Amino acid sequence: MQENRTGTVPSTAPPSQIAVSPDNPCPFLRGLVAGGYVDGHVVPLKKLIQTIEAASGEKGWQQRVAGVKTCIVAVIANGLGRVFRNWWSGPVLDQLRDGPLDKHGVGSRILSAKAEVVETEIARLASFGKDRQDPQDPSGKMERGLTSPEITTFMNENFERAKDNRRTIDRKLMDGEWPVLLNVMGKGEGDARYLSVREVRTLFVERRFPERIVQRLAVPVPQGGIAGKLAKAVVGLIVLVGLLALAVIEFPNQAGEIVPPLAQILPPPLPALVPAKRAVWLDQNWTTEDRHWFHHASQGTATFPVPYDWFMALEQPGIHLFTSPGLLSDSAYLERFGFLPSPRTVHADAASLRRFGYRDPPDPPPAPAPDQVEGLRPTAVENFDGLPVGFARLTNATNPGTLVPEPDQIGLACAACHTGSIRYKDTSIRFDGGPAMVNLKKLELATGLAIAYTLNVPGRFTRFAMRVLGPDANEPERGNLNQKLASIGKFLLDQHNLYDKTIAGMKTHDGKHPQKDTEEGFGRLDALNRIGNQVFYTDFVLGGLSGFEKNLHAQDAPVSFPPIWTVPWFKWAQYDASIEQPLIRNAGEALGVSALVNFSPDFSQKDLFRSSVALENLVRIEKMLHGPDLSGQYVSAFGGLQPPKWPAEFFPGDPLWKINPERVVKGRALYADMCVECHLGPVNDPVFDKEHPHESFWSSEQWKPEKGWLEEVQKPVDDMGTDNAQASVLAYRQVSVPGFLGMRPKRDLGERWKCQDVPDYSSTEMPFSIALMIAVDRTSQHWMDENKDKIADPMKLWGTRSNCPNPGPEEHHHNAGTEPKLYYRARPLNGVWATAPYLHNGSVPSLYWMLTPAAERPTKFCMGARDFDPEQVGFRVVGDAPRCKTGETLFSTTGPGGPVAGNSVLGHSFEGQKPYKKGVVGRMLTDDERYQLIEYLKTL
Q: With b meaning 16 or more CB within 10 Å and e meaning fewer, what string describes 177-211?
A: bbbebbbbbbbbeeeebbbbbbbbbbbbebbbbbe
pLDDT at 114 > cutoff 90: no
pLDDT band for 552, please (50, 70, 90 cuts): very high
Which pLDDT does position 9 carry in this prediction?
A: 32
From 161, 93, 94, 149, select the one nearest 124 (Cα to Cα). Answer: 161
pLDDT at 228 > cutoff 60: no
Residue 749 is given by DSSP the state I
pLDDT at 541 > cutoff 50: yes
Q: Tell me the average pLDDT across 201-211.
A: 93
The answer to which of 223-237, 675-689, 840-854 has the lowest mean pLDDT is 223-237
pLDDT at 899 > cutoff 70: yes
Which pLDDT does position 249 carry in this prediction?
A: 59
Q: Are 900 and 892 in contact (CB under 8 A)?
A: yes
From 585, 602, 100, select the one nearest 399 (Cα to Cα). Answer: 602
Mean pLDDT of the chain: 89
pLDDT at 668 > cutoff 60: yes
- Does residue 540 sit in helix, strand or coil? helix
Q: Tell me the average pLDDT across 252-278.
A: 74
Q: Tell me the average pLDDT across 297-318.
A: 96
Task: Give CA–CA dist 834/938, Å, rounded.
Answer: 9
Q: Are 827 and 566 in contact (CB under 8 A)?
A: yes
Integer-rounded Cα radius of gyration of the chain: 32
pLDDT band for 888, please (50, 70, 90 cuts): very high
**Measuring CA to CA, how many Å separate 784 from each of 373, 596, 616?**
13, 16, 10
Identity of residue 376 = L
Range with top average pLDDT, 97-101, 109-113, 318-322: 109-113
Which pLDDT does position 601 carry in this prediction?
A: 94
| Interacting residues of 461 by C-beta distance below 8 A, sequence separation 6+ | 454, 455, 482, 485
Which pLDDT does position 231 carry in this prediction?
A: 47
Q: Tell me the average pLDDT across 89-114.
A: 83
- Quote the pTM value: 0.78
Provide, rounded to the nearest whole percent, the portion of the chain with pLDDT above 70: 90
Query: Per residue in 479-538, pLDDT tens?
Result: 999 999 999 999 999 999 999 999 999 999 989 999 999 999 999 999 999 999 999 999
Query: Per residue in 231-263, pLDDT tens?
Result: 455 555 555 565 555 555 555 665 555 555 556
Which pLDDT does position 2 carry in this prediction?
A: 34
- CA dihedral (648, 653, 659, 660) in degrees, to 10, reads 180
Task: Give CA–CA dist 331/375, Å, rounded.
Answer: 35
Query: Per residue in 183-205, pLDDT tens?
Result: 899 999 988 999 999 999 999 99
Domain range annotation of the chain: 12-102, 104-206, 229-259, 559-798, 827-939
pLDDT at 311 > cutoff 90: yes
Task: Give CA–CA dist 906/717, Å, rounded.
Answer: 11
pLDDT at 623 > cutoff 90: yes
Which pLDDT does position 266 carry in this prediction?
A: 84
pLDDT at 401 > cutoff 90: yes
Q: Tell me the average pLDDT across 776-795.
A: 96
| Interacting residues of 311 by C-beta distance below 8 A, sequence separation 6+ | 304, 328, 329, 410, 447
Which pLDDT does position 565 carry in this prediction?
A: 97
**Measuring CA to CA, how many Å separate 206 from each of 27, 94, 118, 209, 485?**
10, 18, 13, 9, 59
pLDDT band for 136, please (50, 70, 90 cuts): confident
The answer to which of 154-163, 424-433, 620-629 has the lowest mean pLDDT is 154-163
When comparing pLDDT for 786 and 4, which is higher? 786
Residue 535 is given by DSSP the state I
pLDDT at 176 > cutoff 90: no
Q: Taking the alpha carbons of 261, 266, 272, 275 in that order, is the dihedral positive or negative?
A: positive
Count of CA atoms in the C-beta half-sphere (13 A) of 901: 21
From 27, 186, 201, 185, select the one nearest 123 (Cα to Cα). Answer: 201
The answer to which of 171-180, 456-465, 585-594, 832-841 has the lowest mean pLDDT is 171-180
From 595, 448, 441, 444, select the one nearest 520 (Cα to Cα). Answer: 441
What DSSP string describes 760-804? ---SSEEEHHHHHHHHHHHHHHHHHHHTTTT-S-HHHHH-S----
